Structure 1
Amino acid sequence: MYSSLLTSLLALTTVETAVAASQCTARPPFLNKLAQDNGKLWFGTAADIPGTAEQTDTQYLKILTNNKYFGEMTPANMMKFMYTEPEQNVFNFTGGDYFLDLAEKNGLRVRCHNLVWNSQLSDWVTSRNWTAPELTAVMKNHIYNLVGHFGGRCYSWDVVNEALAGDGSFSSSIWYDTIGSEYFFLAYQFAQEAVEQTGADIKLYYNDYGIESPGVKTTAAYNLVKELQSRKIKIDGVGLESHFEVGGTPSVAAQVAAKQGYIALGVDVVVTELDVRFVQAPFYTAAGEATQAQNYYDSVASCMKVGPGCIGVTVWDFVDKYSWVPSSFPGQGGATIYNDTFQRKPAFYAIGEALTGAPCTVC
């Protein structure tokens, strides 16, 4: 459990909570610095840049590009298929290059996201019937071109994103429905070949949700790692998306157990898309934010408890103003660590405490 500081804020209004939290330290905890000081590679965030209001929001950019707060950036959209290959074999790297330029200018690493997924595909991929060899060639060409272009500027690639259904079977997708389960292993084979051609040290990850605590889907993810390893195909880590609901987040023990299972297979784990959403309004009450803070604490603490095998934590954007949640889950929201007006929530300070194991008064 985290300290009683945030619990003591329950009787305060939302504004009073923000003020009291800001007074708990002479300056707000520098989350990335705390993560790195305590053995992690980063505390990071996703950002949907360029092409959205984030690109020109000076308040947003001031926080995003402060590498004491964030040491890693994940492109929320700009490296996905529909943006990078809008027409067959016609590539557009402008958005991805812009994102990488911004990250590098400010000393942030980038997890490149993603190469093969069922969503956000270009129309030319989904609008025709392919044979398995034809679509396999499309996939290979896409992977080779993206990995080759961005090269070692990417710390890692999410090679396949969200391949599994809740029961642990492969989800229906144009890739699976056309090529079969072999598409998954071919994607990693092609990514490994492409990485070798660059000569760079680029990590290859599998990324999914619902694999953060023990269960059939998590076991299926373990088995995918084992199968890749048995074929001697490169797999360096697994990304645990960690999109949770307030009051419904897996316990620390459950998250630790799942992470230890991946680490035992010899791969890294990283929390890749952490947010904790309210399933209904109001989003900004002291009681609700205290529960949310505990949920954030539990997720970050689980990464700390398993040691260096969990390399870091990334939140899926950091301010409610730009969260993906309201558009994807109508009526839900309040999922990030800053509210709509860029005030730090109790969750922000709970993360600092999870990273250090000490109350935020000494962060």
Structure 2
Amino acid sequence: MRPTRVRTAALAAATALLAGLAVTPAAHASTDQHRAGSTLAQLAERTGRYFGSAVDNPELSDTSYADLLGKEFDATTPGNGMKWYATEPQRGVFDFTAGDEIVDYAKSKGLKVRGHTLLWHQQLPSWLTSGTWTADELRSILKNHITQVVRHYKGKVFAWDVANEIMNEDGTYRENIFYKTIGPSYIADALRWAHAADPKVKLYLNDYNVEAIGPKSDAYYTLIKQLKADHVPINGFGMQAHLALQYGFPDRLRQNIRRFADLGVDVAITELDIRMVLPSDATKLAQQADWYGKVTDACLNVKRCVGITVWGYSDKHSWIPSVFPGEGAALPWDENLAHKPAYGAIHDALASAAKED
């Protein structure tokens, strides 16, 4: 086990801000020049991991944003382009245009792709949600959807979020259309169908508010343990890590990652961002940097934590303000694609681990 690392450069900058000292452009330039030799992806690769960022299709037209994404990261996740509403807008009629655009972009930049997501209770097409289905009918629809999408992207994605957000906060099953019509067996079925369509791709369950040890993560622990016992193909657990400063850092994150790894599955931080109540200030940015460093350290301390993905890398294109009014500033780059203290914390944690390895 590696000890928690001291993220000196980022914390020094944050301390200067807290003390009311101006962090001059020259100071920023000096710090960035010191870090310029390696990207986050390059440092992560030295530890056997990836460091990625999600991207949505409209963002690819922002040339400076898309170029930086291709330089700093080695993996990406389509924000929306592979969701059901996009891939099967009419029953049995598939449209892979949006997903293919991101796969093609990723290939041109040398990035690998996480597939997201085969089933979710949101962003479903109206033909599916407005229909009245028997269990057998819905199983057939679900099987066909998973089979067609996974086959299309076979060899083009390295992992799939097969089932997304299937638990409530209290650890009970979310009563989505699949649970209410088919029952909990749809989860194992979905994993089996995905595996049949692409036996080599890594299959994940993925959710938010599962970073701490508690009822929701306990429910996933129990489910994955049972799936493994039943020989259902399950390769990984995705902790989204949409965190917020006002709610506190997740309790025992590292121990939680480790217990899932001990089940024999990979763990990934899949949608990391750390929002705050606006306006941002020196204190909040320092705390945010510390948290980004802690999340990175937690992953680095568990061998089977295979990688980290931030949910977009810049506040310029963050989803947070539109969903959480009055909150934002959640990402390691600001609206001008400049590094925030959080970037330094991530970089320093990765660099320290890369040296050790």
Give the one of 11, 14, 19 matched to 1:7: 14
RMSD (Å), alpha carbons: 2.0
Give the one of 334, 337, 340 matched to 1:339: 334
- 1:153 is matched with 156
SS in 2 for 1:274: strand
SS in 1 for 2:328: coil
Deviation at 1:130, TM superposition (A): 1.0
Deviation at 1:345, TM superposition (A): 0.3
Is there any run of 5+ residues in structure 1 with no aligned partner, and where?
359-363
- 1:281 is matched with 278
SS in 2 for 1:159: strand
Q: Is 1:38 the counterpart of 2:47 in the alignment?
A: yes
After the TM superposition, which residues 131-150 of structure 1 pair with which residues of structure 2 at under 5 Å, given as runs? 131-150=134-153
Distance in 1, Cα, partners of 2:238 & 2:215: 17
1:76-103 CA distances to partner (integer Å, 9 max, x unpaired)? 0000000000000000011111111110
Deviation at 1:352, TM superposition (A): 0.7
Partners of 1:38 and 1:356 within 8 A in 2: no
Distance in 2, Cα, partners of 1:255 & 1:171: 23
1:129-182 CA distances to partner (integer Å, 9 max, x unpaired)? 111111111100000000111101110111000100001110121111111111
Deviation at 1:183, TM superposition (A): 1.3
After the TM superposition, which residues 1-363 of structure 1 pair with which residues of structure 2 at under 5 Å, given as runs? 1-3=6-8, 4-11=11-18, 16=23, 20-24=27-31, 25-28=33-36, 29-40=38-49, 42-49=50-57, 52=58, 54-66=59-71, 69-196=72-199, 201-246=200-245, 248-250=247-249, 254-278=252-276, 280-283=277-280, 285-306=281-302, 308-357=303-352
Is there any run of 5+ residues in structure 2 with no aligned partner, and where?
1-5
Distance in 1, Cα, partners of 2:113 & 2:22: 34
SS in 2 for 1:164: coil
Change (3 A) 1:13 1:80: farther
SS in 1 for 2:162: strand
1:20 maps to amino acid? A
Q: TM-score, normalised by structure 2?
A: 0.92
Pairs aligned (count): 346
2:306 maps to amino acid? I
Q: TM-score, normalised by structure 1?
A: 0.91
Between the aligned residues of both structures, percent identity stands at 39
1:31-68 CA distances to partner (integer Å, 9 max, x unpaired)? 1111111231x11000002xx2x1211110110111xx
Partners of 2:14 and 2:341 within 8 A in 1: no
Distance in 1, Cα, partners of 2:25 & 2:260: 37
SS in 2 for 1:5: helix
Distance in 2, Cα, partners of 1:342 & 1:62: 11
Distance in 2, Cα, partners of 1:90 & 1:185: 25
Partners of 1:241 and 1:271 within 8 A in 2: yes
- 1:361 is matched with none
Partners of 1:21 and 1:346 within 8 A in 2: no
